[in-house]
Structure 1
Amino acid sequence: MTYVDAISWDMLNPFIMPIKVLEPHTDRLGHTNNTTYLNWMEEVSWRHIDPLGMSWAAHEKLGKAMAITRTEVDYLAASHADDELYIGTWITACDGRIQSSRHFQIFRPADGKTIVRANSYYACIDMKSGKPTRMPKEFVEAHRKAMEAHGLAPASG
């Protein structure tokens, strides 16, 4: 078992991305800037869905995308330059029509602390009009696969 396997993750089988905090990630207070966490959350989301068949090329081909409608972030502890972190993510809900959600947990192994927990909520949009639209079956299937891998039962829709 690796150290990452021993982390007390919020849910089963997270998709995990390692992070090394660099000086440009920090703000005037010397800790990681809150916008940096949002950027990492976006990056891990893309890395997670790409192998599930939801690459950017697939989005462009279908003309649909999942746009964030809301993000809730709990900053539980600060991180600093040179900290090594792991960000875990899970697709937590998909109504099979328009909406889905994702959970994030950022963990610092050096002291065993979860430093950030967050949830993002998404709506499927048409990339040309920007208006909400029904998810393509390819998106629904990718969400279903991810939720099953995380031990979550997707809603039918």
Structure 2
Amino acid sequence: MNDTTFPVASQFAWDYPSPFLRQCTPDATHIDGLHHTNNAVYVQWCEAIGWAHSEALGLGLADYQRLDRAMAIRHAAYDYLLPSTLGEKLLLATWLIDTDEKLNMRRRFQLIRETDQAVIFRAQWDLVCIEISSGKARRMPPEFCAKYLPAVIRPVS
């Protein structure tokens, strides 16, 4: 998915250009005792869109297993800015925004409520390439570089 899938998305103030998007709508199972979307749900949505983006770029779990390599979360930061509630239409965006082209990459997330275009959540993952069989950090294989690096947005300093 990309912003052409969601015409309203072009009006939003995205943190970076060309977001990979997924629509999210909290249902009853997502709502906690405070009557808003549970924070853990946002983390699950990040995982889901991260995988969807990776698959859209041409690398899925089967590829990770075949190559004995994976991009693993080394550090995650989540900023819960505003609550969301049952039935609200939300757009979750993700980008790959930085890499050293060897081991590390950074993924960003931004969640916007469609009705008022309010940013309700931001997150960042610092990723490291690992060898799945050992869990040790290893250089990104050529297939990772070929698929991921063209998608990386380099922030302007």
TM-score, structure 1 length as denominator? 0.91
Structure 2 residue corresponding to 1:14, chosen from 19, 27, 30 = 19
Q: Secondary structure at the match of 2:55?
A: helix
- Among all aligned residue pairs of Structure 1 and Structure 2, give the percentage whose two residues are the same amino acid: 34
Name the amino acid aligned to 1:11. Y
Structure 2 residue identity aligned to 1:138: E
Structure 2: how far apart are the matches of 1:64 and 1:131?
10
Equivalent residue number for residue 32 of structure 1: 37
Q: What secondary structure, in the 3-state scheme, does the structure 1 residue paired with 2:62 have?
A: helix
Equivalence for 1:58: 63
Q: Distance in 2 between matches of 1:8 and 1:68?
A: 27
**Partner residue in 2 for 1:136:** 141
- Alignment partners' CA distance in 1, 2:80 and 2:25: 18
CA contact (8 A) 1:94 1:143 kept: no
Aligned positions, number: 150
- Residue 51 of structure 1 deviates from its aligned partner by 2.1
Query: For residue 110 of structure 2, what is the aligned residue in structure 1?
Result: 105
In the TM superposition, what whole-angstrom CA distance separates every residue of 1:84-108 from its partner, at most 9, and x where no partner exists?
A: 1000010011111111101100000
Structure 1: segments with no counterpart, 5+ residues: none
Q: Distance in 2 between matches of 1:116 and 1:61?
A: 34
CA distance in 2, matches of 1:110, 1:51: 28
Instruction: List 4+ stretches of structure 1 deviating above 2 A.
Output: none
Q: For the aligned residues, what is the CA RMSD? A: 1.4
Q: Which structure 2 segments of 5+ residues have no match?
A: none
Aligned 8 A contact 1:70 1:120 in 2: yes
Scaled by the length of structure 2, the TM-score of the pair is 0.91
Determine the structure 1 residue equivalent to 2:75. 70
Deviation at 1:56, TM superposition (A): 1.1
